[in-house]
Amino acid sequence: MEHEHTENIQRLKTIEGHIRGIQRMLENDQYCIDVIRQIQAVQSALNKISARILDGHLNTCLLNAIQGDDPEERQRVLNEITEVFQTANKV
């Protein structure tokens, strides 16, 4: 788990560098399609991190809630996952 956390942080730092690059592209008035392609690459990278974090959540927090004895906690965790997907589909 710690290894995945460290890896996700490193990926976010890389994305941060890409975003700075996009800012420079805009400042230098670079070709719009090239800027859009870079933005799409950043969005894809963020989606990958999101999927990795969700996978970790499903395999830890969700499993603990499902296997636990607290029906309210189980429902709370399931509601959170539903909300995440609803929010993702609004974008």
pTM here is 0.82
Angular region, 62: left φ>0, alpha ψ -120 to 50, beta rest: alpha
Gap between the Cα atoms of 91 and 44, Å rounded: 14
Position 91 scores a pLDDT of 60
The full set of domain ranges for the chain reads 2-90
Say how far residue 8 (Cα) sits from the centre of its chain: 9
CA distance 21 to 45: 15
Residue numbers in the chain where pLDDT is lower than 70: 91
User: What local confidence, expressed as pLDDT, does residue 88 receive?
Assistant: 82
What is the reported pLDDT for 2?
Answer: 81
Contact (CB, 8 A) for 43 and 70: no
C-alpha span between 89 and 64 (Å, rounded)? 26
CATH number of 2-90: 1.20.58.1000
Supply the pLDDT for residue 67: 93
